[in-house]
Structure 1
Amino acid sequence: MSSTVTPMMAQYLEIKADHPDALLFYRMGDFYELFFDDAVAAAGALDIALTKRGKHLGDDIAMCGVPHHAAEGYFLTLIRKGHRVAVCEQLESPAEAKKRGYKSVVKRGVTRVVTPGTLTEDALLDARRHNFLAAYANVRGDGALAWVDISTGAFSVLECDVAGLGPELARLGPKEVLLSDAGEGDFGGIVEDAGAAVTVLGNAAFDSTSGEKRLNSVYSVKSLDGFGTFSRCEIAAMAAVVEYLDITQKGKLPLLRPPMREKRESAMQIDASTRKSLELTHGVNGGRSGSLLSVIDRTLTAAGARLLERRLSSPSRDLAQIGTRQDAVAWCLDRGDVAALLEDRLREVPDLDRALSRLSLDRGGPRDMTAVRSAIAQASLIADALPDDMPDVLAAAARDLTGQETLLALLDDALIAEPPILARDGGFIASGYDAELDEFRSLRDEGRSVIAGLQSQYVERTGVSALKIRHNNVLGYFVEVTATHSAKMLASPLSETFIHRQTTANQVRFTTVELSELETRILNAGGQCLEIEKRLYSALKDGILDQAPELFTLARALAEFDLSAALARLAREENWVRPVMTSEREFVITEGRHPVVEAALKPSGTPFVANDTDLSDEQIWLLTGPNMAGKSTYLRQNALIAVLAQMGAFVPAKAATIGIVSQIFSRVGASDDLSKGQSTFMVEMVETAAILNQADDRALVILDEIGRGTATYDGLSIAWATLEHLHEVNRCRALFATHYHEMTGLSDKLDGVANATVTVKEWEGDVIFLHEVKRGTADRSYGVQVARLAGLPKTVVDRAKVVLEALEKGEREGKQKAVIDDLPLFSAKPTPAPQKTAPSEVEARLKDVLPDDLSPKDALDLIYELRGLVKTSE
């Protein structure tokens, strides 16, 4: 290293060497500063000025900086753009550094590495969504996925083979996934496809033997058996998560709830493409808007919203569990008075989970403590108002709402109503809670009155009414009397108390031990107040964290009440019904509706056309009908009804009976995947192959326009064979939409296939979409009419009609090739406009009619008159 390197820059380079893959935010006073390549990268990503600061090895040092109080927003921007941030703080004050020598550099160190999966601050997170960090481990061919939300402490794991990794990542939507060195090449592409950042750890982090010891230490147990029976690969995945948290949080682990072991077979399986197609939690633009979640979310708390997303993303296959959830919704729907009270209280409930997490990581403050206080208080009020006759799931939750009265009393006594955000600002401890703090506050805020009180005591003791306590910058506080009384003050016994300090021409000044001590206390009172509040804050935090398991349970109970009440309100407002769930294969929907489309139509007043579905006897419906008639909407609405039913919600229908659905597959629409070099047709075939290879007899499959991306006969043959495979091999329930009318004949050959069509009506050359699904087949696709509605030039539409008629005639006569050869070449000349003719007698008569002026008798007379004119014209 060059001898010209300054001590500060030497310190920076040493710290940076330990974090080469992160942007180092180096704290200097009120700013975080970045240097060298970090500065260049950050300035470009944040759109801030790039400057210079001195030289290093003869070259200018690039530099940029951001204010420390606004750093969170910059962290978020950098994280979203794929960067990691190492936060380097000052670990001592400049005054403390100077004690080691005048030129000593303030000690600094990285206190945290900010990554996509380790965010905790409210400003960096969506309060209504989880922020998961996941790890995937593969031990001798067995795989497991573990995930944690450190902002809430939720920690889960499940066994997951490679084939299931993509669907599970799609369900969870983690922001960051940990892989081993050995696994990056095998699984990195799957993680990137899921939209998560890949972080590679050494293989040692995934070692199950040392990992088990690490987990035992985290939970202060001798064995994990108390939490469940975990496989070696599950322990490896969980251990990697804990190891990474230790690295990024610099040894300060967040509160982690005991790990929950999930089983894939307990939930409805939905793969990534199906989730995207159905827009369960993300709309077509990737955001929340336009998704099913956005339409059904009536929750009032952040925890309730996160629970809703978890349930929607992972519908249950357990009949008993679904039933208990439905019971809770039905009870809230029937007990509107209790539900209204619940809603009033729930609106006041803060995000208890995230407040606890921030406190555990020392990123919290007094307002997080008041959040805990408020949550406990509202939970207690809710518990007091609940009746005894509640369904099981709510009765269990109600029992978890109480038991924190001691902590509530402590926080009520200790904290003011509206404390500051940061503990270092002070002023959050209530008066009367700590006598020593009250005394120092009195000295700090009422120093003059305290001095005046002491002066009164001295006047009374000495009998000198002219005695004053004064202050100047040289002597500080002192007792002053006139020269007339000086002899008395200098004589015993007063001289033992009053110590002579100074004599002027007319005054004599004294001090006392008591006054000196009081002066010191007044001058130090502000600092003492902060120190005392800091100590009290630490004690309160420890008291809260001691109750963390019970508080997490309370938070889950509040979320359960919130979700049940929200789903009940949704059912009441949208006229949804409770579905009947069975273990058989029924799938009967009466007047089902698409919840998202219906919500979109509501502002315009346009009613949604409801439709029936019955896949009980004939498990496959072959759906025909024109484009724009609503086939895709109909397909999706049945899948969404199944998802809503199995998450425990009511459904948008007049009635519904649904046998448990094990899997949902949806292939409705597709596009090129340019990143993989796949055409639309290839994407379609890959997704179709996945369905045919995976769907079991309890699956629900919805397919739209299979085979349309290739030549007509190729596409028809593929669609035909696909339908036969679903019927004969998969034996699942399915809705199969197609434009290949030739396939409708399969209903005569396959017992489980029925034909259905979306009806339309032709009127004066136009096609009117009725959006009604009924048994039967469509006679044609009306593609030319739809093209005209889309605005194609009239010459193109007219030419298409000519070609269509010729091709249909040729197909009927078996001479299609000859017909094509005989077709005249296309002419772009516009068709001459029809010549205007003189209006008929009927038209002339109607032109003079004013309908609003007609009485019923006049209208009837007019009809007879017009009828006569028609006969005359004939």
Structure 2
Amino acid sequence: MTQFERFSIDALSTAELASAESRASATPMMEQYIEIKANNPDSLLFYRMGDFYELFFEDAVEASRALGITLTRRGQHMGQDIPMCGVPIHAADDYLQKLISLGFRVAVCEQVEDPAEAKKRGSKSVVKRDVVRLVTPGTLTEEKLLSPSESNYLMAVARIRGSSEPQLALAWIDISTGVFRLAETDQGRLLADVLRIEPRELIVPDTMFHDADLKPVFDMLGKVAVPQPGVLFDSASAEGRITRYFSVGTLDGFGSFSRAELAAAAAAIAYVEKTQISERPPLGIPERESAASTLFIDPATRGNLELTRTLSGDREGTLLKAIDRTVTGGGARLLAERLMSPLTDPLRINRRLDSISFLLDEPLLCSDLRAALKHVPDMPRALSRLALDRGGPRDLGAILRGLGASRAVAAFLEKAMLPEELGEALADLKALPADLEAMLGGLLADELPLLKRDGGFLRDGADAELDEVRALRDQSRRVIAGLQLQYAEETGVRSLKIKHNNVLGYFIEVTVGNAGPMTDTPEGKARFIHRQTMANAMRFTTTELADLESRIANAADRALSIELAAFARMVEAVTGQAEAIKKGARAIASIDVAAGLACLAEEWGYHRPVVDGSRMFAIVGGRHPVVEQALRRQSEGPFIANDCDLSPAEGGEFGALWLLTGPNMGGKSTFLRQNALIAILAQMGSFVPAASAHIGVVDRLFSRVGASDDLARGRSTFMVEMVETAAILNQATDRSLVILDEIGRGTATFDGLSIAWAAVEHLHEGNRCRGLFATHFHELTVLSEKLARLSNATMRVKEWDGEVIFLHEVGPGAADRSYGIQVARLAGLPASVVARARDVLTMLEDSDRKNPASQLIDDLPLFQVAVRREEQRKSGSSAVEERLKAINPDDMTPREALEALYALKKQLSAN
């Protein structure tokens, strides 16, 4: 058994450590560790010892395994070796990043007392330590731990039980930027709303976490969902907690909130206070979102459409990756937010579209803006670190550079006639504090250290005293030499020297013969004070030299003290302007998104959609934004654009439903997805990959494309398909857009056909939504004769010399074949299997046979394989005969004749 394995078995658990027996047998330091660990049982404890964070017992075993670091030991406890591992302070962020990504939570325990103070209590006294912060996935602020292009949300869900249906609400906070939002939800849409926000951490009341009705939601979220004590979610004390945090007397000025929303908001704040201990991030006031204000996209649809993650979990190949042209971190986060939460209000959508149109019409301005935006750092995250006392000089530098770059962006916009959104952004940029920029610019050096404790971040001339002590610190030799010259001239002793040793410090030394000018002074007015007489020399000091020595010795500490005081003043000034800085940063982000989408539209030929309150859905020349870019990268030719018109018929009230048939590999799934993506792009406020588009606002988008299972919950592929189809049929409204592909394929043919048939009828008569329904059940096409809003469409193909050419074009009509056997041949199935499949298909399609399947049973496949082999053998023999007939022995050399004979023999044996 290895040492690591032994520790894995023997390491004491948190409960065992907390026992009285454990504490009684511990050393003073271990007793302190055990007490702190007992108060943080759910976190790995980073225990500060000198220049390392050490972990002990079970924490050490888990951390060493997770981080791949050496597991050692430190003494014994209760007769067992104490497992220990550690990470250096300067590299702690790297280790924290890995631990957090693996789902761990970390309690950071620092020394909160000067070791000199501890020694006053006795030589064996332990320095006081305490947890200063809990590091969890949803409460990160460090630059290394955060992705610049992704928000880092902590979310809380609260439930209020009443006489009717329980109220549910969500609150989500990004402490790295100060975003704070609330929304009501319900049990049916809880998972969809959580996935729309994509929190890194979701806190749930422990009773709710174990609720059988909601357990599937939390199981789906995995480690993201974390149970917490119910007291955090107490609605009775919620308003008081929120008002105390924001230092206000009432929430009336913030808006009107439900009890569930207040409980969720208070829980989120309580968790922030719990994890940040004594620090307070600069949160914005809670903003309420209405559920009806955003396009509802259910979890299955988000996964199928691969908006921000592919089905394999990658960013490459997603819609977000395809459209992102932002150049700032804040812009990238805002773009992702808009993509995940498209709007349903045509006025707000068109405000965003106006900004893109304006910048497309002003290409030089757009180019200048993007160039200026590249110099804007992430001000909100720098601000948050400073407010939480985790910031450094470079965060102050980021604020300074951000203010300057924002001023440059504003200068480009000032002379233009701006649309509403850009005009509001300009107003916020002009409101940024110029005096703060001037203050920071006058104090901060050009090159800034990472940590404030390193000093050197104030520029020369910023503080007269600092300049003096820096001179003493950095130029002490030159200062001493100057004083030596002064004393030599004053006494006339040219050999006078100022020297230094560890006993006397600085002293003046002259030979005994030259000591007269330094001793022959009137009584009581001695300038030179005698310190020591040597055999050949005498040593003196002066009040001036003693004072200088003291100042030199303390110069470094004094210089750092002056800089830290200036740092505190700068942080206070910055946090005092937090709201203005955050507004300016949001303005920068919105400009960046508009400019990026304008760049995208210019690059790929996107056009502005018409978005209104109608039920129109008319796409001309629509393209799939992700596939189109992939084809160009792979040099596989242009994307084939297609039209889609699901608009109501003239005089009709409801939109149309298309029944799409056609071959596999013909492009049905791509066509389905591209229309859903065009709707999302339009309602997020982007131009779309189409020649033109008129979209009446969609309230709910459903996409059931592709096959998947859920074996962990006992669901087959077909069961998952039916569950998702049920959700669509139960929730879609007459303003929804529904995309369905191959419903019913996972069961018996007639069962599947029956389900697909009934689903089409329900979509038409019950939901009355706009929709695309792709199927291989060609029998469904007859429904177009019965259902007025149903139209048949097909993916066109061309047959040439027995080959099938997929045109990837959509046209009216119905397909009579699926060309599955041709696709199977392209996939590489053995020729004998393909040929047999053709025979079976012919027999099954023969209408003259009453029961073709019964004959197929008698027509043994093995016999058929043998027959085909014999046919192939005969075909091969005929080929040899033909080749033999073509040979003229008179024209061949002996060697050529021999090679031909070998070739014929090889061909014959192969057959």
TM-score, normalised to structure 1, is 0.94
Q: How does 1:659-808 map to 2 (within 5 A)?
A: 659-808=696-845
Instruction: Check conservation: 1:176, 1:198, Cα contact below 8 A.
Output: yes
Determine the structure 2 residue equivalent to 1:142.
Answer: 167
Letter paired with 1:661: V
Determine the structure 2 residue equivalent to 1:153.
Answer: 178
User: How far did 1:502 drift?
Assistant: 1.9
Q: Secondary structure at the match of 2:134?
A: strand
Aligned equivalent of 2:139, options 94, 99, 118: 118
Aligned equivalent of 1:169, options 188, 191, 194: 194
User: How far did 1:123 drift?
Assistant: 1.2
**Per-residue CA distance 1:14-33 (angstroms, 9 max, x = gap):** 11110111111111112221
Q: Secondary structure at the match of 1:117?
A: helix
User: How far did 1:533 drift?
Assistant: 1.3
Determine the structure 2 residue equivalent to 1:394.
Answer: 422
Q: Aligned equivalents of 2:52 and 2:718: distance in 1? A: 54
User: How far did 1:198 drift?
Assistant: 2.1
1:61 aligns with 2:78: no
Q: How does 1:234-273 map to 2 (within 5 A)?
A: 234-273=261-300
1:479 aligns with 2:479: no
Tell me the C-alpha RMSD between the 2 structures: 1.9
**Cα–Cα, structure 1 residues 326 and 196, in superposed 2: closer, same or farther, change >3 Å?**
farther
Determine the structure 2 residue equivalent to 1:416.
Answer: 445
Determine the structure 2 residue equivalent to 1:358.
Answer: 385
Q: Which moved more, 1:764-773 or 1:92-101?
A: 92-101
Q: Secondary structure at the match of 2:526?
A: helix
Letter paired with 2:643: D
Q: Aligned equivalents of 1:314 and 1:650: distance in 2? A: 16
Instruction: Check conservation: 2:132, 2:278, Cα contact below 8 A.
Output: no
Q: Which moved more, 1:197-206 or 1:263-272?
A: 197-206
User: How far did 1:505 drift?
Assistant: 3.6
User: How far did 1:825 drift?
Assistant: 3.8
Q: Secondary structure at the match of 2:172?
A: strand
User: How far did 1:681 drift?
Assistant: 0.4
Q: Aligned equivalents of 1:129 and 1:251: distance in 2? A: 27
1:610 aligns with 2:641: yes
Q: Aligned equivalents of 2:794 and 2:57: distance in 1? A: 66
Q: Which moved more, 1:476-485 or 1:209-218?
A: 476-485
User: How far did 1:112 drift?
Assistant: 1.1
Aligned equivalent of 1:592, options 622, 628, 634: 622
Q: Aligned equivalents of 1:270 and 1:666: distance in 2? A: 9
Determine the structure 1 residue equivalent to 2:893.
Answer: none
**Cα–Cα, structure 1 residues 740 and 628, in superposed 2: closer, same or farther, change >3 Å?**
same
Q: Aligned equivalents of 1:355 and 1:648: distance in 2? A: 29
Determine the structure 2 residue equivalent to 1:318.
Answer: 345
Q: Aligned equivalents of 2:365 and 2:850: distance in 1? A: 72
Q: Aligned equivalents of 1:564 and 1:288: distance in 2? A: 22
**Per-residue CA distance 1:706-743 (angstroms, 9 max, x = gap):** 00000111100100100110100100000000000000
Aligned equivalent of 2:584, options 554, 567, 577: 554
Q: Aligned equivalents of 1:196 and 1:476: distance in 2? A: 62
Q: Which 4+ residue blocks in structure 1 deviate beyond 6 angstroms?
A: 837-840
User: How far did 1:149 drift?
Assistant: 0.9
Instruction: Check conservation: 1:303, 1:555, Cα contact below 8 A.
Output: yes
Q: Aligned equivalents of 1:471 and 1:815: distance in 2? A: 114
Q: How does 1:198-597 map to 2 (within 5 A)?
A: 198-386=225-413, 387-402=415-430, 403-493=432-522, 495-597=525-627
Determine the structure 1 residue equivalent to 2:44.
Answer: 23
Percent identity over the alignment is 54
Instruction: Check conservation: 1:177, 1:191, Cα contact below 8 A.
Output: no
User: How far did 1:340 drift?
Assistant: 0.9
Instruction: Check conservation: 2:103, 2:223, Cα contact below 8 A.
Output: no
Q: Which moved more, 1:682-691 or 1:409-418?
A: 409-418
Instruction: Check conservation: 1:697, 1:730, Cα contact below 8 A.
Output: yes
Q: Which moved more, 1:93-102 or 1:412-421?
A: 93-102
Aligned equivalent of 1:190, options 214, 217, 220: 217
Q: Which moved more, 1:597-606 or 1:550-559?
A: 597-606
**Per-residue CA distance 1:148-205 (angstroms, 9 max, x = gap):** 1111111100011111211011111111111112211133431331355222222111
Q: Secondary structure at the match of 1:225?
A: coil
Q: Secondary structure at the match of 2:426?
A: helix
**Per-residue CA distance 1:302-353 (angstroms, 9 max, x = gap):** 0000000000000011111111100101111111111111111111111111
Instruction: Check conservation: 2:209, 2:218, Cα contact below 8 A.
Output: no
Letter paired with 1:815: N
TM-score, normalised to structure 2, is 0.90
1:130 aligns with 2:130: no
**Cα–Cα, structure 1 residues 590 and 390, in superposed 2: closer, same or farther, change >3 Å?**
same
Aligned equivalent of 1:815, options 828, 851, 868: 851
Q: Aligned equivalents of 1:530 and 1:703: distance in 2? A: 67
**Cα–Cα, structure 1 residues 776 and 213, in superposed 2: closer, same or farther, change >3 Å?**
same
Determine the structure 2 residue equivalent to 1:642.
Answer: 679
User: How far did 1:516 drift?
Assistant: 0.7
Determine the structure 2 residue equivalent to 1:858.
Answer: none
**Per-residue CA distance 1:431-464 (angstroms, 9 max, x = gap):** 1111111111000001112222333443454455
Q: Aligned equivalents of 1:677 and 1:115: distance in 2? A: 32
Letter paired with 2:150: R
Q: Aligned equivalents of 2:65 and 2:113: distance in 1? A: 31
Q: Aligned equivalents of 1:188 and 1:712: distance in 2? A: 35
Q: Which moved more, 1:557-566 or 1:396-405?
A: 396-405
Instruction: Check conservation: 1:726, 1:732, Cα contact below 8 A.
Output: yes
Instruction: Check conservation: 1:489, 1:495, Cα contact below 8 A.
Output: no
Q: Aligned equivalents of 1:408 and 1:622: distance in 2? A: 62
Q: Aligned equivalents of 1:763 and 1:154: distance in 2? A: 60
Q: Aligned equivalents of 1:462 and 1:817: distance in 2? A: 126
Q: Which runs of 5+ in 2 are unaligned?
A: 1-20, 650-654, 888-911
Determine the structure 1 residue equivalent to 2:121.
Answer: 100
Q: Secondary structure at the match of 2:498?
A: strand
Q: Secondary structure at the match of 1:389?
A: coil
Instruction: Check conservation: 2:169, 2:260, Cα contact below 8 A.
Output: yes
User: How far did 1:837 drift?
Assistant: 9.0
Letter paired with 1:221: V
Q: Secondary structure at the match of 1:502?
A: strand
User: How far did 1:206 drift?
Assistant: 0.7
Letter paired with 1:794: A
Instruction: Check conservation: 1:174, 1:196, Cα contact below 8 A.
Output: no
Aligned equivalent of 1:46, options 59, 64, 67: 67
Instruction: Check conservation: 1:499, 1:512, Cα contact below 8 A.
Output: yes
Q: Aligned equivalents of 2:236 and 2:830: distance in 1? A: 72
Determine the structure 2 residue equivalent to 1:861.
Answer: none
Q: Aligned equivalents of 1:729 and 1:600: distance in 2? A: 39
Instruction: Check conservation: 2:71, 2:83, Cα contact below 8 A.
Output: yes
**Per-residue CA distance 1:794-818 (angstroms, 9 max, x = gap):** 11111111111101114x6543454
User: How far did 1:497 drift?
Assistant: 2.4
Q: Secondary structure at the match of 1:183?
A: helix
Aligned equivalent of 2:102, options 51, 75, 81: 81
Q: Which moved more, 1:441-450 or 1:528-537?
A: 528-537
